[in-house]
Amino acid sequence: MADPKGFLTTARQEWPRRPVGERVRDWDEVYVPGALLPIVERQADRCMDCGVPFCHEACPLGNLIPDWNDLVSRADWHAAAERLHATNNFPEFTGRLCPAPCEAGCVLAINQPAVTIKNVEVAVADRIWADGLAPPRPPERLSGRTVAVVGSGPAGLAAAQQLTRAGHTVAVYERDDRPGGLLRYGIPDFKMEKAHLERRLGQLAAEGVRFRTSTEVGRDVGAAELRGRYDAVVLAVGATAWRDLDVPGRELAGIEQAMAYLPLANRVCAGDLAASPLSAARKHVVIVGGGDTGADCLGTAIREGAATVTQLDIYARPDASRDEETEPWPTYPKVHRLSPAHEEAGQLRTAPATGTGSDTDARLYAASTLRFDGDAAGHVRALHLTEVDAARRPLPGTERELPADLVLLALGFSGPDRTAGGLLDQLGVDLDERGVLARDDRFATNVPGVFATGDAARGQSLVVWAIAEGRATAAAVDRWLTGATELPSPITPHDRPMTV
């Protein structure tokens, strides 16, 4: 740290967001372009370079946070980038998308606002791309071994890059028309513009990764053929089986899964479609589900010009600050957070008059859906809900109706796609009791030479965990292929976020 008193003299300052009225008229990222660089060196200087940096432990990748904070505070951006890439293949993804458990574990956060670790990370990543210092790093020698990676989300991409750099010949199979997994089709462009993804994909391709898009393994290519053609197979197929809502009226038109809705908006941004066939324009939208996918639907519906948008959360409104008894520092607490989409909803007052326990930012808490009403044409027109207690028992007298002509279900995902006769059936891989891919301590499934990584095996998680999974699985595959590995392995299959 250039200034040992930086944390005393400099206040936390985050990357400023563009005004709500401006940003909801486009799909660009919500932050003010160019406004991070002028503040970030001073922000990095707030890092205390603690003897025991808990941020390392809190970051699934084990990012060397105090090291790069120090280098940024001294304006040594290129050394900072080297240190950052030692642990993270895609810091421009995590620097935009990660909920930053590292900041919850920052020692400064015990009694002051944490260091803006995530902002420093994205500033370093963007800076080295701008300076042309993220060249492809193809291997010096090829091993003669081949690996098929099925799925091109962050887990598959991280595994592919690590294995390619270790000298193996890697092909990535993806059933969508473009690689990226949820980074491409799911996560809205206002959270991460796809140019960042394209740049990394170009780097991977230049290093030797081959992409086979529009190819569903289990349908377009048989699992047996894949096993015969490659020395190892990595299943990085994600947890794409969505949960549904079993209430009267569910069959009505206009009730859609979030993951049917969000990719269409991505396709509009990509220029594939002039308008989304499920656009929220001029509609009364209700989002069922209080998580991040729901928040992404909220920001998307606002940009599409919805008449009203309300988001239902089954849980009670969390407190503003952490409960020191149940979620002490350095764990990642369940507190009330205002995402950019909620900030937009609050300022634009997108929700119709909300009742007891409501927020001003479109969220209705402790709200459980009872049924849907339809019109004569069989289209949804209203959603009935009730408030519930902590045990999800309805509270008498709290039933109410919301106008709804587009309902988006954002209720989470139960595990990988288990279509009968599909990839998993053909391979004969075991699932565990949660319905995700079972694997041993070395990321190996019950089928020899077949490994499982990312959300498909961990269950619905985060980009940072997916990258850590991909890196660790690559190390396991490299060891299996060659008997030894020098690739880093940041996590085990059993590691979980830090809790009490």
Which of 44, 58, 124, 237: binder of ligand FAD (CB under 6 A)? 237
Residue 100: CB minimum distance to ligand SF4, A: 4
Total site size for ligand SF4, rule CB under 6 A: 13
Q: At what angle do helices 77-85 and 65-73 cross, to 10 degrees?
A: 170
Q: In whole angstroms, how close is the CB of 387 to ligand FAD at the nearest point?
A: 27
279, 287, 340: which is closest to 305 by C-alpha?
Answer: 279
Near ligand FAD in 76-135, by CB under 6 A: 97-98
Strands in 146-150's sheet, in edge-to-edge order, are 210-212, 169-173, 146-150, 232-235, 450-452
**Contact letters for ligand FAD, residues 277-296 (x by CB under 6 A):** ---------------xx--x
Closest to ligand SF4 by CB, 104 vs 444, is 104
As a dihedral over the C-alpha atoms of residue 215, residue 220, residue 223, residue 227, rounded to 10 degrees, the angle is -70
**Partner from ligand FAD, ligand SF4, none contacting 232, C-beta within 5 to 8 A by type:** none
Binding to ligand SF4 (CB under 6 A) within 48-77 occurs at: 59, 61, 63, 65
Stretch of residues binding ligand SF4 (CB under 6 A), selected from 4-12, 36-44, 114-122, 155-163: 114-122
Residues 188-207 that bind ligand FAD (CB under 6 A): 191
Residues 459-498 contacting ligand SF4, CB under 6 A: 464
In angstroms, give the least distance from the CB of 121 to ligand SF4.
Answer: 5
Establish whether the linkage from the previous residue to 330 is cis, with ω within 30° of 0.
yes
Identity of the residue, 47 or 209, whose beta carbon is nearer to ligand SF4 in the bound complex: 47
Check the CA dihedral 355-359-362-364 and report its sign.
negative
In the complex, the smallest distance separating the C-beta of residue 98 from ligand SF4, rounded to whole angstroms, is 3
Q: Give the whole-angstrom CA distance, residue 329 versus residue 109.
A: 8
Q: Which stretch binds ligand FAD (CB under 6 A): 230-238, 248-256, 429-437, 487-495?
A: 230-238
Residue 454 in contact with ligand FAD, rule: CB under 6 A = yes
Of 102, 104, 262, 452, which one interacts with ligand FAD (CB under 6 A)? 262
**Considering only residues 79-98, where is the footprint of ligand SF4 by CB under 6 A?**
94, 98
Question: Which among ligand SF4, ligand FAD, none contacts residue 61 (Cβ within 5 to 8 A by kind)?
Answer: ligand SF4
* Contacted entry of ligand SF4, ligand FAD, none for residue 173, CB cut-off 5 to 8 Å set by kind: ligand FAD
User: What is the sign, positive or negative, of the torsion defined by CA atoms of 461, 462, 466, 469?
Assistant: negative
Q: Does 238 interact with ligand FAD (rule: CB under 6 A)? A: yes
What's the rounded Cα separation, in Å, for the pair 59 and 100? 8
Nearest in space to 283 (alpha carbons), one of 403, 396, 189, 405: 405
Q: What residue ranges bind ligand FAD (CB under 6 A)? A: 97-98, 150-156, 173-176, 181-182, 186-187, 191, 216-218, 236-238, 240, 262, 292-293, 296, 417, 423, 454-456, 461-464, 466
